């Protein structure tokens, strides 16, 4: 019986290059959606379920969600060196571009079309974030309990405008308790 050869590890340079491209060409949000597209759909480095779990984890640990997500992806691909390659790749482009824009701001701030470009990029970022939400929700909707947690959270925070911390303080433990694996009678 012959087994499938294990795929070669993703080169660190490729990890850096992908995250550099994401960081250098996106701003104003939507970066998590872009990372999802790059590593799940375009390059197939990580399965969709694993990526969504990483995004969820990235949202509950301290720090910026996007940097947490890139560290998660890099670590899953190549361990600590992969996490560092992803993080430095993500931050290098915006760092350099911020310095360059600062130096040229007096000249470029008077260009009339600049605000239209920024508005278009912001609209694309909203679309990418909505896509991630739809993908995550669609995987939960076949199960009634996760769907109810999502709906209660949305109505509590979005409709009734309750503070998110108390809502999460109640719903997170409830959600964990409902999802906790139970021993079956035949176990």
Decide: 18 and 37 in contact? Cβ < 8 Å. no
Residue pLDDT, tens place only, 25-78: 876 667 888 899 999 999 999 999 999 999 989 988 888 899 999 999 999 999
Residue 180 and residue 121 share a domain: no
Show which of 104, 124, 140 is a domain's final residue.
Answer: 140
Predicted confidence at residue 4, as pLDDT, reads: 62
Q: At what angle do helices 12-25 and 65-108 cross, to 10 degrees?
A: 50
What are the tokens at 74? 């890099």
| Number of neighbouring beta carbons within 10 Å of residue 169 | 11
136 and 147 inside one domain: no
What tokens does 131 get? 């896509």
**Shared-domain flag, residues 122 and 169:** no
Report the range of poorest mean pLDDT among 6-10, 48-52, 68-72, 142-146.
142-146
For residues 85 and 163, state if they share a domain: no
SS (H, E, C) the chain: CCCCCCCCCCCHHHHHHHHHHHHHHCCCCCHHHHHHHHHHHHCCCCCHHHHHHHHHHHHHCCCCHHHHHHHHHHHHHHHHHHHHHHHHHHHHHHHHHHHHHHHHHHHHCCCCHHHHHHHHHHHHHHHHHHHHHHHHHHHHCCCHHHHHHHHHHHHHHHHCCCCHHHHHHHHHHHHHHHHCCCCCCCC
One domain for residues 75 and 108: yes
Does residue 128 sit in the same domain as residue 186? Answer: no
For residues 48 and 107, state if they share a domain: yes
Answer whether residue 184 is part of any domain: yes
- Do 114 and 165 belong together in one domain? no
Same domain flag for 147 and 85: no
Q: 2 in a domain, yes or no?
A: no
**Rounded CA separation 25/157 (Å):** 32
Statement to judge: residues 133 and 158 lie in one domain: no
In a shared domain, residues 114 and 151? no
Q: Is residue 28 part of a domain?
A: yes
Residue 5 lies in a domain: no
Same domain flag for 135 and 159: no
**Cα torsion for 184, 48, 131, 73, to the nearest 10°?**
110
**Structural domain total, the chain:** 2
Q: 100 is in which domain, residue-wise?
A: 12-140
- Render pLDDT for 69-101 as a digit per residue (tens, 0 to 9): 999 999 999 999 999 999 999 999 889 888 988
Angle, vertex CA 124, rays to CA 60 and CA 168, nearest 5: 20
pLDDT of 14 reads 97
Q: What is the pLDDT of residue 184?
A: 60
Least-confidence region, from 69-73, 99-103, 140-144, 183-187: 183-187
């Amino acid at each position: 019986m012959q087994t499938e050869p294990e795929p070669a590890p993703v080169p660190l340079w490729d990890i850096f290059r992908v995250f550099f491209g994401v960081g250098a060409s996106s701003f104003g949000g939507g970066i998590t959606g872009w990372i999802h597209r790059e590593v799940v759909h375009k390059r197939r480095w990580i399965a969709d379920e694993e990526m969504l779990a990483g995004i969820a984890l990235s949202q509950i640990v301290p720090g910026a969600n996007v940097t947490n997500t890139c560290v998660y992806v890099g670590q899953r691909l190549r361990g600590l060196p992969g996490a560092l390659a992803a993080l430095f790749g993500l931050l290098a482009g915006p760092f350099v571009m911020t310095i360059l824009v600062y130096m040229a701001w007096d000249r470029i701030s008077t260009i009339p079309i600049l605000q239209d470009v920024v508005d278009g990029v912001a609209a694309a970022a909203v679309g990418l974030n909505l896509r991630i939400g739809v993908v995550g929700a669609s995987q939960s909707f076949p199960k009634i309990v996760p769907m109810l947690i999502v709906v209660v959270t949305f109505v509590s925070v979005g409709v009734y405008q309750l503070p998110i911390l108390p809502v999460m303080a109640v719903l997170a433990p409830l959600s964990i308790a409902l999802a906790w694996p139970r021993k079956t009678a035949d176990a």
